[in-house]
Structure 1
Amino acid sequence: MWVGTLYALAAGLMWGLVFIGPLLLPEYPAALQSVGRYLAFGLIALPLAWLDRRELSRLRGQDWREALKLSAIGNLLYYLCLASAIQRAGGPLPTMIIGTLPVVIAITANLRNGHRDGRLPWARLMPSLLVIGLGIACVNQAELAQLRAQSDGDGWRHASGALLALIAVVCWTWYPLRNADWLRAHPDRSPRAWATAQGVATLPLALLGYLLLWGWMAWRGSEFAMPFGPRPGFFIALMVAIGLFASWLGTLCWNQSSQRLPTALAGQLIVFETLAALAYAFLLRGQMPSGLTLVGIGLLIAGVLWAVRIKPVPVPVAVEGHGL
């Protein structure tokens, strides 16, 4: 249990990096940041695939199709929606919506996976979810205040940003549940090789997306300097860093966690991503968090520690044909 929690913590620390990409590259289109990140991920995965070639050779066609679906929805579509939401609505509203993921995933997994993982008793699960939810509200109070201050801005732009953030929540509710399904169904498979397989599956999608985006921008007569934008060295370095740490290593750690923990519990541990993103944002700003933000961080940590102590209860299997 605790080993799985530590792996989830490591994944969250690396996934938090993806939230600062749009802040460091505000002049770059969200679509370019999405395909650039996963093109780097796919290229990094190629030499790793050679090292894991024996394990990858065990994957069948349906396994590769599953890796392709996970890559398309949990990688490309999710990050495209997230980066677009941040660029359209700013940080406040998307952060608040994405911050609900730990609660949404935990509730969905407890309803969906009880027969496989055991069900976390609602009476014990709900208090931890409420504490996490209250912590999320506290750490986002500054962003909410900023959003209210900007309420006289472009209403449609904010609404479309909110919609894109909601789509991102749907994508990343689906991804960890579906990814855990495969890992729990294949306990003898290497989580590292499965992370690499997703990178290999992402590569053709990201390359096609990059070429289509380049062609679309050329057709529209965009002045944006393709293929790498006005800061090519920084863009490439950031995409490689995020591709290596957030995409491959983060996925590897999450796969290790998903093989060890009930999905309902693992869902709550995505809160580590929120904490990491918050810490990186304050480092970029050169500011100390406010008192209420520190209270929220304490509540998030307390909620996670509370949840980790909950033991799953087996769900009785209905017996058919038990009449006389």
Structure 2
Amino acid sequence: MRRTDGDNGRVAAGVGAGVAWALAAGLLWGLVFVAPLMLPDYPAALLTVGRYLAFGLLCLPLAWIDRHELRHLRRADWLHALELALAGNLLYYLLLASSIQRTGGPLSTVIIGTLPVVIAVVANRRDAARDGRLPWRQLLPALVLIVAGIALVNHVELQAVRADPARRVADYLLGALLAAGAVACWTWYPLRNADWLRAHPQRSARAWSTAQGLATLPLALAGYALLLAWGAWGGPGPVQPLGPRPEAFVLLMAALGLLASWLGTLCWNAASQRLPTALAGQLIVFETLAALLYAYLWRGQGPAPAALVGIALLVAGVLWGVRARPEAVIAQAHPD
């Protein structure tokens, strides 16, 4: 059946709306990268538990909406949600916030920006039988571009660290390692999350997101209690429950819980409903670009020319990598 001009117009409008939703998600998710710079006097652990306390509390009314779906989840499903919440939420953001406070933002952001291709490389071995294998000849140029981009941004940022007597190179290098740890967490998370979704195609994706938010809440509460106890009895000094700037902390954590954790995911789901998966994957780069924009705006300066070239190389590498198409893996018959 031939498409009419009206059909083509509706398809184009749907794609345009999907891109707009993806852009909105990226702008919202980018906020989590600048929050540690806005509250540099707060430990990363307090920022982490604060954000996910807000997210978990927001999921309570959502749980009432999805109560019928949630009743079908078994004990094994809730344990799966707990491990996803621990690694993909709490541990990931703890590493990310710690990294940003040590590197200043841009380097951590470009390292996290490699996630689409890193996930593709890991999944290429892990899930080839299920999802197909990405040709390495298509991935290699993307990896080269990404490594070159990170190297350029790292060179610029490291020069700035060496020129600033208030900053230490050792802290900066530790921040880069912490960002790599955050990449590891969020490489593991979508693979394990996809395992559950593929195994339960009849379950609501929205209800599963709500379940992970509910699973995050007790973990964040326990982390908050441990943080306060450590400050009172074992740490270098008492931890103020809401830190030195309570109003700013509460408002920012509520904003992250509502805008980044809930509304950002809602926007991304809306984009995913309207766009081909291959195109939606490329648009994850909006998050990286938004995070870099916010970091440089917070600094009150633009990127140096070399850093700008590095960012362009990173974006090119990610776009190249996510355009690779998987090839079906044909199982060979075992010889008799």
Q: Which TM class, normalised by the smaller chain length?
A: 0.7 to 0.9
Gaps of 5+ in 2: 1-14
SS of structure 1 residue aligned to 2:30: helix
1:281-300, aligned counterparts within 5 Å? Answer: 281-300=295-314
Displacement, 1:261?
9.8
SS of structure 1 residue aligned to 2:294: helix
Gaps of 5+ in 1: none
Q: Name the residue aligned to 1:275.
A: 289
Between 1:56-65 and 1:249-258, the stretch displaced more is: 249-258
1:102-117, aligned counterparts within 5 Å? Answer: 102-117=116-131
Q: Name the residue aligned to 2:206.
A: 192
Identify which of 47, 51, 67 aligns with 2:61. Answer: 47
Call closer, same or farther: CA 1:70–1:294 in 2, change over 3 Å.
Answer: same
Call closer, same or farther: CA 1:152–1:219 in 2, change over 3 Å.
Answer: closer
CA displacement 1:96-140 (0-9 Å, x = unmatched): 544443442221122222211112222223223333443444455
Q: Is the 8 A contact 1:97 1:169 kept in 2?
A: yes
Q: Name the residue aligned to 2:29.
A: 15
Displacement, 1:267?
7.3
Q: For 1:140 and 1:276, locate their aligned partners in 2 and report how far apart those are by CA, in whole Å.
A: 19
CA displacement 1:17-43 (0-9 Å, x = unmatched): 111111000111111111111111100
Between 1:12-21 and 1:62-71, the stretch displaced more is: 12-21
**1:131 partnered with 2:145:** yes
CA displacement 1:191-240 (0-9 Å, x = unmatched): 22222111100000101111121122222587666221222111111101
Identify which of 254, 261, 278 aligns with 1:247. Answer: 261
Aligned residues: 322
What's the % identity of the aligned pairs? 65
Amino acid at match of 1:218: A
Call closer, same or farther: CA 1:58–1:106 in 2, change over 3 Å.
Answer: same
Q: For 1:148 and 1:103, locate their aligned partners in 2 and report how far apart those are by CA, in whole Å.
A: 31
1:176-191, aligned counterparts within 5 Å? Answer: 176-191=190-205
TM-score norm. by structure 1 comes to 0.83
CA displacement 1:275-312 (0-9 Å, x = unmatched): 22101112223333444444444444444444454332
Q: Name the residue aligned to 2:11.
A: none
Q: For 2:129 and 2:22, locate their aligned partners in 1 and report how far apart those are by CA, in whole Å.
A: 23
CA displacement 1:167-197 (0-9 Å, x = unmatched): 2222122112212222233333322222211
Call closer, same or farther: CA 1:202–1:294 in 2, change over 3 Å.
Answer: same
Call closer, same or farther: CA 1:308–1:218 in 2, change over 3 Å.
Answer: closer
Identify which of 40, 61, 72 aligns with 2:86. Answer: 72
Between 1:54-63 and 1:65-74, the stretch displaced more is: 54-63
